[in-house]
Amino acid sequence: MKNKVLLIVVLFFLLIFSSCSNLIYFTQDIRDDLNENNLDVEKVQFYNSDKIVLKRNLSKEETQIAKGTIRLENGEYFEEIIIPRKTKGIAVKEGTEYLKIAFETGDKRNLRFDINDDLNYQISADSWKDNYGCVVYDTNTYYIVPGSSNTLLMVNKEYISNFEMKRRVLKGRSVGR
């Protein structure tokens, strides 16, 4: 009996804390609403849904100039750039079916997010091989590690709620009423 009560209490708190997140997925519908109301997507605060890890092999000479974390694996040096989950980012370039999001300042330090089949914006790469996505970041070629390949863009739902509260949809009028 104690175990059931404890389980119910734990599940209750998990439900409460998981529903407290203010972030929702950025969808094509939300982007369409922004466009219809002439709002600039570059003024929207974005977040990443999952941790993003970019990785590249380094020669011994390059280990001196690498900007990320340098790791030694199986006798080889790797540089990793880690973008933690829910890191703030901004749109620096947009196309009809993509957004380029920068999580830090600097030229060519952005990642592309394309519309997926569910109409969410998902991290993209120039090419994919064995679940590793190849991208150019800060003039170097990196690989998106497999665990990062499903990362989606998110926005604060309060921002969207405030936007939707300002919107009225008229039903129209009938003759004689």
* Tens-digit pLDDT profile for residues 23-68: 999 999 999 988 888 888 998 999 999 999 999 887 666 655 555 6
Give domain status of residue 4, yes or no: no
User: How close are the terminal C-alpha atoms of the chain, in Å?
Assistant: 63
Q: At what angle do helices 157-165 and 28-36 cross, to 10 degrees?
A: 40
Give domain status of residue 173, yes or no: no
**Number of domain units in the chain:** 1
The domain in which residue 83 lies consists of 22-165
Give domain status of residue 92, yes or no: yes
Give domain status of residue 150, yes or no: yes
Among 71-80, 86-95, 101-110, 158-167, the minimum mean pLDDT is found in 158-167
Give domain status of residue 14, yes or no: no
How far is Cα 17 from Cα 126, in angstroms, rounded to an integer?
A: 37
pLDDT digits (tens, 9 = 90+) for 128-170: 988 899 999 998 999 999 989 999 999 998 766 555 555 567 7
Q: What is the pTM of this model?
A: 0.74
Give domain status of residue 8, yes or no: no
Give domain status of residue 136, yes or no: yes
